[in-house]
Amino acid sequence: MRSLRCLVGLSAALAEIRFVTFLDCDSLNRMTLPLRNKACYARKHGYRYDLKLVRKQAAATETQGITYRKPEVILEAMARAAPDDLVVWIDADVVVMDSPRRFETLVDREAVDVWIADHNCNPNNGVIVLRNNAFGRKFVEGWIEICGLGQFPYTDQGCFYEQALRVASAGNTSLINECDLLGRGVDVSDCEDLVGASGRTDVEACYAHMASTTSGTPEEKCQQFFSYNTTLMDRCNFLMRQKANVGTAAMFSCVIREWDRVFGPFNHGARDRVAGRVGLRRAVDSFNAHYCSPQHHLKRFCRWAPQGSWAPEVCFRDGTFALHGRQPKRAQAIGMARASFNKAALSDGSLQKCIRHDAATDQTKRGACQSENGTWVALAGN
Protein backbone atom coordinates (compact mmCIF):
# COMPACT_ATOMS: atom_id res chain seq x y z
CA MET A 1 0.00 0.00 0.00
CA ARG A 2 2.85 2.37 0.88
CA SER A 3 4.57 1.68 -2.45
CA LEU A 4 1.30 2.39 -4.29
CA ARG A 5 1.01 5.79 -2.60
CA CYS A 6 4.62 6.51 -3.53
CA LEU A 7 3.90 5.65 -7.17
CA VAL A 8 0.86 7.94 -7.18
CA GLY A 9 2.91 10.78 -5.70
CA LEU A 10 5.71 10.22 -8.23
CA SER A 11 3.20 10.26 -11.11
CA ALA A 12 1.79 13.59 -9.91
CA ALA A 13 5.29 15.03 -9.55
CA LEU A 14 6.27 14.03 -13.10
CA ALA A 15 3.02 15.17 -14.69
CA GLU A 16 3.21 18.40 -16.66
CA ILE A 17 1.00 21.43 -16.74
CA ARG A 18 0.06 22.20 -20.32
CA PHE A 19 -1.76 25.43 -21.17
CA VAL A 20 -3.90 25.47 -24.30
CA THR A 21 -5.53 28.37 -26.18
CA PHE A 22 -7.59 28.42 -29.35
CA LEU A 23 -7.78 31.55 -31.52
CA ASP A 24 -8.94 32.57 -34.97
CA CYS A 25 -6.20 34.14 -37.08
CA ASP A 26 -8.18 37.35 -37.54
CA SER A 27 -7.80 38.07 -33.82
CA LEU A 28 -4.02 37.67 -33.65
CA ASN A 29 -3.12 41.34 -33.79
CA ARG A 30 -5.38 42.45 -30.96
CA MET A 31 -4.37 39.46 -28.82
CA THR A 32 -0.59 39.75 -29.30
CA LEU A 33 0.30 40.95 -25.80
CA PRO A 34 -2.17 38.69 -23.93
CA LEU A 35 -0.68 35.70 -25.76
CA ARG A 36 2.86 36.85 -24.96
CA ASN A 37 1.82 37.30 -21.33
CA LYS A 38 0.75 33.67 -21.00
CA ALA A 39 3.74 32.38 -22.98
CA CYS A 40 6.20 34.26 -20.76
CA TYR A 41 4.47 32.97 -17.63
CA ALA A 42 4.66 29.39 -18.91
CA ARG A 43 8.36 29.73 -19.74
CA LYS A 44 9.07 31.23 -16.33
CA HIS A 45 7.76 28.14 -14.58
CA GLY A 46 8.67 25.46 -17.13
CA TYR A 47 5.11 24.78 -18.33
CA ARG A 48 4.09 23.97 -21.87
CA TYR A 49 1.80 26.35 -23.77
CA ASP A 50 0.24 25.39 -27.10
CA LEU A 51 -1.88 27.60 -29.33
CA LYS A 52 -4.33 26.22 -31.90
CA LEU A 53 -4.86 28.67 -34.75
CA VAL A 54 -7.77 28.44 -37.16
CA ARG A 55 -9.14 30.64 -39.90
CA LYS A 56 -12.48 32.05 -38.85
CA GLN A 57 -13.75 32.23 -42.42
CA ALA A 58 -13.31 28.46 -42.69
CA ALA A 59 -16.04 28.12 -40.08
CA ALA A 60 -18.36 30.68 -41.65
CA THR A 61 -20.63 28.05 -43.15
CA GLU A 62 -20.98 26.11 -39.91
CA THR A 63 -24.39 26.12 -38.25
CA GLN A 64 -22.78 26.91 -34.88
CA GLY A 65 -20.33 29.66 -33.94
CA ILE A 66 -16.59 29.13 -33.97
CA THR A 67 -16.44 29.03 -30.16
CA TYR A 68 -18.19 25.64 -30.24
CA ARG A 69 -14.83 24.27 -31.37
CA LYS A 70 -13.37 24.79 -27.90
CA PRO A 71 -14.05 21.28 -26.53
CA GLU A 72 -12.75 19.71 -29.75
CA VAL A 73 -9.48 21.62 -29.40
CA ILE A 74 -9.21 20.59 -25.74
CA LEU A 75 -9.67 16.94 -26.68
CA GLU A 76 -6.95 17.29 -29.33
CA ALA A 77 -4.65 18.79 -26.71
CA MET A 78 -5.34 15.92 -24.34
CA ALA A 79 -4.38 13.45 -27.07
CA ARG A 80 -1.06 15.31 -27.43
CA ALA A 81 -0.40 15.30 -23.67
CA ALA A 82 1.07 12.58 -21.49
CA PRO A 83 -1.15 10.56 -19.15
CA ASP A 84 -2.06 12.40 -15.95
CA ASP A 85 -0.85 15.79 -17.22
CA LEU A 86 -2.99 18.75 -16.22
CA VAL A 87 -4.38 20.28 -19.39
CA VAL A 88 -5.35 23.88 -18.67
CA TRP A 89 -7.62 25.52 -21.21
CA ILE A 90 -7.14 29.30 -21.01
CA ASP A 91 -9.08 31.79 -23.15
CA ALA A 92 -7.03 34.14 -25.31
CA ASP A 93 -8.20 37.18 -23.32
CA VAL A 94 -7.13 35.83 -19.93
CA VAL A 95 -3.87 37.38 -18.68
CA VAL A 96 -1.67 36.40 -15.74
CA MET A 97 -1.46 39.14 -13.11
CA ASP A 98 0.56 37.33 -10.41
CA SER A 99 3.34 35.54 -12.29
CA PRO A 100 5.47 34.50 -9.27
CA ARG A 101 2.69 32.15 -8.24
CA ARG A 102 2.90 28.63 -9.62
CA PHE A 103 -0.30 27.24 -11.06
CA GLU A 104 -0.07 24.09 -8.94
CA THR A 105 -0.97 26.13 -5.86
CA LEU A 106 -4.35 27.04 -7.35
CA VAL A 107 -5.81 23.53 -7.69
CA ASP A 108 -5.78 20.33 -5.70
CA ARG A 109 -5.00 17.92 -8.50
CA GLU A 110 -5.80 14.90 -6.35
CA ALA A 111 -9.24 16.14 -5.25
CA VAL A 112 -11.11 16.17 -8.57
CA ASP A 113 -10.44 15.75 -12.28
CA VAL A 114 -12.18 18.89 -13.61
CA TRP A 115 -11.85 22.39 -12.15
CA ILE A 116 -13.36 25.74 -13.14
CA ALA A 117 -13.46 28.98 -11.17
CA ASP A 118 -16.53 29.68 -9.08
CA HIS A 119 -18.29 32.59 -10.78
CA ASN A 120 -21.62 31.56 -9.29
CA CYS A 121 -24.35 33.64 -10.91
CA ASN A 122 -22.67 33.52 -14.30
CA PRO A 123 -20.51 30.36 -14.50
CA ASN A 124 -17.59 30.83 -16.85
CA ASN A 125 -15.33 28.27 -18.53
CA GLY A 126 -12.64 30.75 -19.64
CA VAL A 127 -10.16 28.62 -17.68
CA ILE A 128 -10.72 24.88 -17.28
CA VAL A 129 -8.31 22.48 -15.59
CA LEU A 130 -8.62 18.84 -16.69
CA ARG A 131 -6.62 15.83 -15.61
CA ASN A 132 -5.60 13.91 -18.71
CA ASN A 133 -7.10 10.59 -17.70
CA ALA A 134 -10.07 8.53 -18.82
CA PHE A 135 -12.50 10.59 -16.75
CA GLY A 136 -11.20 13.92 -18.06
CA ARG A 137 -11.35 12.78 -21.68
CA LYS A 138 -14.81 11.30 -21.23
CA PHE A 139 -15.97 14.60 -19.73
CA VAL A 140 -14.83 16.52 -22.82
CA GLU A 141 -16.28 13.92 -25.19
CA GLY A 142 -19.63 14.30 -23.43
CA TRP A 143 -19.35 18.07 -23.70
CA ILE A 144 -18.83 17.79 -27.47
CA GLU A 145 -21.79 15.44 -27.79
CA ILE A 146 -24.08 17.80 -25.87
CA CYS A 147 -22.98 20.81 -27.93
CA GLY A 148 -24.22 18.92 -30.97
CA LEU A 149 -27.78 18.87 -29.64
CA GLY A 150 -28.54 22.43 -30.73
CA GLN A 151 -27.92 26.13 -30.17
CA PHE A 152 -27.14 26.85 -26.53
CA PRO A 153 -27.12 30.20 -24.72
CA TYR A 154 -23.60 31.61 -24.67
CA THR A 155 -22.51 28.97 -27.21
CA ASP A 156 -19.98 26.47 -25.79
CA GLN A 157 -20.62 27.72 -22.25
CA GLY A 158 -24.25 26.63 -22.36
CA CYS A 159 -23.46 23.05 -23.31
CA PHE A 160 -20.61 23.09 -20.77
CA TYR A 161 -23.13 23.97 -18.03
CA GLU A 162 -25.21 20.97 -19.05
CA GLN A 163 -22.26 18.56 -19.08
CA ALA A 164 -20.76 19.84 -15.82
CA LEU A 165 -24.00 19.44 -13.88
CA ARG A 166 -24.83 16.10 -15.48
CA VAL A 167 -21.45 14.71 -14.43
CA ALA A 168 -21.36 16.40 -11.01
CA SER A 169 -24.81 15.04 -10.17
CA ALA A 170 -24.03 11.54 -11.49
CA GLY A 171 -26.63 11.97 -14.22
CA ASN A 172 -29.40 13.20 -11.92
CA THR A 173 -29.56 16.79 -13.23
CA SER A 174 -30.21 18.03 -16.75
CA LEU A 175 -30.50 21.76 -17.39
CA ILE A 176 -32.03 20.97 -20.76
CA ASN A 177 -34.94 19.32 -18.96
CA GLU A 178 -35.09 21.41 -15.77
CA CYS A 179 -34.43 24.87 -17.26
CA ASP A 180 -35.30 24.44 -20.95
CA LEU A 181 -31.70 25.34 -21.81
CA LEU A 182 -32.29 24.64 -25.50
CA GLY A 183 -35.53 26.58 -25.66
CA ARG A 184 -37.52 23.54 -26.72
CA GLY A 185 -40.59 25.00 -25.07
CA VAL A 186 -40.36 28.04 -27.34
CA ASP A 187 -41.54 28.25 -30.93
CA VAL A 188 -38.45 29.15 -32.98
CA SER A 189 -39.82 28.08 -36.36
CA ASP A 190 -39.33 31.52 -37.85
CA CYS A 191 -35.62 31.47 -37.03
CA GLU A 192 -34.92 29.71 -40.31
CA ASP A 193 -36.60 32.53 -42.21
CA LEU A 194 -34.56 35.11 -40.29
CA VAL A 195 -31.27 33.32 -40.83
CA GLY A 196 -31.98 32.82 -44.52
CA ALA A 197 -33.13 36.40 -45.11
CA SER A 198 -31.96 37.25 -48.61
CA GLY A 199 -29.73 40.27 -49.01
CA ARG A 200 -29.46 41.01 -45.30
CA THR A 201 -26.37 40.98 -43.16
CA ASP A 202 -26.55 39.37 -39.73
CA VAL A 203 -26.61 42.82 -38.17
CA GLU A 204 -29.44 44.08 -40.38
CA ALA A 205 -31.53 40.99 -39.74
CA CYS A 206 -30.92 41.21 -36.02
CA TYR A 207 -31.86 44.90 -35.91
CA ALA A 208 -35.07 44.30 -37.84
CA HIS A 209 -36.13 41.42 -35.63
CA MET A 210 -35.16 43.16 -32.40
CA ALA A 211 -37.26 46.17 -33.36
CA SER A 212 -40.33 43.99 -33.76
CA THR A 213 -40.07 41.84 -30.64
CA THR A 214 -38.28 43.64 -27.81
CA SER A 215 -38.23 46.94 -25.96
CA GLY A 216 -35.26 49.28 -26.13
CA THR A 217 -33.36 50.28 -29.23
CA PRO A 218 -32.45 47.49 -31.68
CA GLU A 219 -28.84 48.68 -31.70
CA GLU A 220 -28.47 48.27 -27.94
CA LYS A 221 -30.06 44.84 -27.93
CA CYS A 222 -28.06 43.54 -30.88
CA GLN A 223 -24.79 44.84 -29.51
CA GLN A 224 -25.31 42.72 -26.42
CA PHE A 225 -25.95 39.54 -28.41
CA PHE A 226 -23.19 40.09 -30.94
CA SER A 227 -20.64 40.54 -28.15
CA TYR A 228 -20.74 36.81 -27.44
CA ASN A 229 -19.48 35.80 -30.91
CA THR A 230 -22.55 33.68 -31.58
CA THR A 231 -24.26 32.72 -34.78
CA LEU A 232 -27.40 34.43 -35.97
CA MET A 233 -29.36 31.31 -35.06
CA ASP A 234 -28.16 31.69 -31.45
CA ARG A 235 -29.39 35.24 -31.35
CA CYS A 236 -32.69 34.32 -32.95
CA ASN A 237 -33.27 31.71 -30.25
CA PHE A 238 -32.66 34.36 -27.60
CA LEU A 239 -35.16 36.65 -29.29
CA MET A 240 -37.82 33.98 -29.47
CA ARG A 241 -37.37 33.32 -25.75
CA GLN A 242 -37.98 36.99 -25.05
CA LYS A 243 -41.02 37.06 -27.29
CA ALA A 244 -42.49 34.13 -25.35
CA ASN A 245 -41.62 35.77 -22.00
CA VAL A 246 -39.20 33.00 -21.09
CA GLY A 247 -36.03 35.00 -21.61
CA THR A 248 -32.52 34.62 -20.29
CA ALA A 249 -33.44 35.92 -16.82
CA ALA A 250 -35.91 33.09 -16.14
CA MET A 251 -33.63 30.50 -17.70
CA PHE A 252 -30.49 31.51 -15.80
CA SER A 253 -32.32 31.88 -12.51
CA CYS A 254 -33.19 28.21 -12.95
CA VAL A 255 -29.61 27.35 -13.95
CA ILE A 256 -28.15 28.93 -10.81
CA ARG A 257 -30.68 27.25 -8.55
CA GLU A 258 -29.63 23.89 -10.00
CA TRP A 259 -25.95 24.86 -9.79
CA ASP A 260 -26.29 25.65 -6.07
CA ARG A 261 -28.40 22.57 -5.44
CA VAL A 262 -25.71 20.27 -6.89
CA PHE A 263 -22.59 22.05 -5.58
CA GLY A 264 -23.95 23.57 -2.38
CA PRO A 265 -24.33 27.25 -1.39
CA PHE A 266 -21.90 29.86 -2.71
CA ASN A 267 -20.98 31.16 0.77
CA HIS A 268 -19.27 34.32 -0.59
CA GLY A 269 -16.81 32.22 -2.56
CA ALA A 270 -14.84 31.39 0.58
CA ARG A 271 -14.42 27.66 -0.10
CA ASP A 272 -14.10 25.22 -2.96
CA ARG A 273 -17.36 23.58 -3.96
CA VAL A 274 -17.02 19.98 -5.10
CA ALA A 275 -19.57 17.49 -6.42
CA GLY A 276 -18.34 14.11 -7.58
CA ARG A 277 -15.15 14.69 -9.57
CA VAL A 278 -15.98 18.23 -10.66
CA GLY A 279 -14.78 21.19 -8.60
CA LEU A 280 -15.45 24.94 -8.45
CA ARG A 281 -12.32 26.75 -7.27
CA ARG A 282 -13.19 29.24 -4.54
CA ALA A 283 -13.78 32.74 -5.87
CA VAL A 284 -11.59 34.47 -3.28
CA ASP A 285 -8.49 32.74 -4.68
CA SER A 286 -9.33 31.58 -8.19
CA PHE A 287 -7.62 31.36 -11.57
CA ASN A 288 -10.32 33.15 -13.59
CA ALA A 289 -11.75 36.50 -12.49
CA HIS A 290 -13.32 39.44 -14.34
CA TYR A 291 -13.26 43.10 -13.55
CA CYS A 292 -16.71 44.09 -12.46
CA SER A 293 -18.59 46.88 -10.80
CA PRO A 294 -20.68 45.10 -8.14
CA GLN A 295 -23.68 47.40 -8.52
CA HIS A 296 -23.69 47.12 -12.30
CA HIS A 297 -22.91 43.40 -12.21
CA LEU A 298 -25.93 42.70 -10.04
CA LYS A 299 -28.17 44.92 -12.14
CA ARG A 300 -27.20 43.55 -15.54
CA PHE A 301 -25.37 40.23 -15.47
CA CYS A 302 -26.75 38.72 -12.27
CA ARG A 303 -30.24 40.16 -12.18
CA TRP A 304 -31.56 36.60 -12.44
CA ALA A 305 -29.52 35.33 -9.47
CA PRO A 306 -31.46 34.11 -6.42
CA GLN A 307 -31.17 36.31 -3.33
CA GLY A 308 -27.76 36.01 -1.67
CA SER A 309 -26.18 33.89 -4.40
CA TRP A 310 -23.72 36.53 -5.63
CA ALA A 311 -20.97 38.44 -3.85
CA PRO A 312 -18.26 40.87 -5.03
CA GLU A 313 -15.62 38.28 -4.14
CA VAL A 314 -16.01 36.92 -7.68
CA CYS A 315 -14.59 40.19 -9.09
CA PHE A 316 -10.94 40.72 -9.94
CA ARG A 317 -8.93 42.62 -7.35
CA ASP A 318 -5.24 43.22 -6.68
CA GLY A 319 -3.53 39.94 -5.85
CA THR A 320 -5.83 37.77 -7.95
CA PHE A 321 -3.87 35.34 -10.12
CA ALA A 322 -5.46 36.11 -13.50
CA LEU A 323 -7.74 38.62 -15.14
CA HIS A 324 -10.28 37.59 -17.74
CA GLY A 325 -10.26 40.68 -19.94
CA ARG A 326 -13.06 42.68 -21.42
CA GLN A 327 -13.14 44.54 -24.68
CA PRO A 328 -12.22 48.15 -23.81
CA LYS A 329 -15.43 49.67 -25.23
CA ARG A 330 -17.68 47.29 -23.31
CA ALA A 331 -15.61 47.74 -20.17
CA GLN A 332 -15.64 51.51 -20.40
CA ALA A 333 -19.41 51.51 -20.76
CA ILE A 334 -19.83 49.90 -17.34
CA GLY A 335 -17.07 51.79 -15.57
CA MET A 336 -14.39 49.10 -15.46
CA ALA A 337 -10.86 50.30 -14.73
CA ARG A 338 -7.66 49.02 -16.39
CA ALA A 339 -9.75 47.22 -18.97
CA SER A 340 -7.39 47.29 -21.93
CA PHE A 341 -6.04 43.85 -22.85
CA ASN A 342 -2.60 45.31 -23.50
CA LYS A 343 -2.43 47.31 -20.29
CA ALA A 344 -3.49 44.32 -18.24
CA ALA A 345 -1.04 42.00 -20.05
CA LEU A 346 1.87 44.27 -19.12
CA SER A 347 0.82 45.00 -15.54
CA ASP A 348 2.94 42.21 -14.00
CA GLY A 349 6.38 43.82 -13.74
CA SER A 350 8.28 40.54 -13.62
CA LEU A 351 6.95 39.57 -17.07
CA GLN A 352 7.35 42.93 -18.82
CA LYS A 353 10.83 42.41 -20.23
CA CYS A 354 9.93 39.03 -21.68
CA ILE A 355 6.63 40.30 -23.11
CA ARG A 356 8.16 43.39 -24.74
CA HIS A 357 10.92 41.38 -26.44
CA ASP A 358 8.97 38.29 -27.46
CA ALA A 359 8.62 39.14 -31.14
CA ALA A 360 9.81 35.72 -32.35
CA THR A 361 6.60 33.98 -31.37
CA ASP A 362 4.60 36.62 -33.23
CA GLN A 363 6.37 35.67 -36.43
CA THR A 364 5.75 31.99 -35.72
CA LYS A 365 2.03 32.59 -35.20
CA ARG A 366 1.67 34.72 -38.32
CA GLY A 367 3.51 32.11 -40.36
CA ALA A 368 1.16 29.42 -39.08
CA CYS A 369 -1.82 31.46 -40.23
CA GLN A 370 -0.44 31.50 -43.75
CA SER A 371 -0.47 27.72 -43.87
CA GLU A 372 -3.27 25.20 -43.63
CA ASN A 373 -6.22 25.65 -41.31
CA GLY A 374 -5.95 24.23 -37.83
CA THR A 375 -2.26 24.70 -37.01
CA TRP A 376 -0.73 24.04 -33.58
CA VAL A 377 1.99 26.44 -32.43
CA ALA A 378 4.19 25.79 -29.38
CA LEU A 379 4.57 29.07 -27.46
CA ALA A 380 6.40 27.55 -24.49
CA GLY A 381 7.92 24.20 -23.57
CA ASN A 382 9.42 21.49 -25.74
Taking only the tens place, the pLDDT of each residue in 139-152 is 999 999 998 887 77
Domains of the chain and any CATH numbers: 15-172+263-380 (3.90.550.10), 191-243 (no CATH)
CB 73 within 8 A of CB 20: yes
* Spatial distance between the Cα atoms of 224 and 235, rounded to a whole number of angstroms: 10
pLDDT for 84: 94
Residue percentage of the chain with pLDDT more than 70: 63
pLDDT in tens, 238-252: 555 544 444 456 777
Mean pLDDT of 72-98: 94
Please state the φ and ψ torsions of residue 180, each to the nearest 5 degrees.
Answer: 50, 50
- Type of residue numbered 33: L
pLDDT digits (tens, 9 = 90+) for 115-138: 999 977 778 899 999 999 999 999
> pLDDT by residue (tens digit) across 146-180?
988 877 777 788 899 999 999 999 999 999 888 87
Q: How confident is the model at residue 87 (pLDDT cuts 50, 70, 90)?
A: very high
pLDDT at residue 307 greater than cutoff 60: yes
pLDDT (tens digit, 9 = 90+) per residue, 182-204? Answer: 766 544 444 445 444 434 455 55
b or e along 115-124 (b: 16 or more beta carbons within 10 Å of the residue's beta carbon)?
bbbbbbbbbb
Q: Report how far apart, in Å, the C-alpha atoms of 379 and of each of 18, 158, 349 are.
A: 11, 29, 20
Give this prediction's pTM.
Answer: 0.80
Mean pLDDT of 311-334: 69
Alpha-carbon torsion angle 298, 317, 129, 17, nearest 10: 170
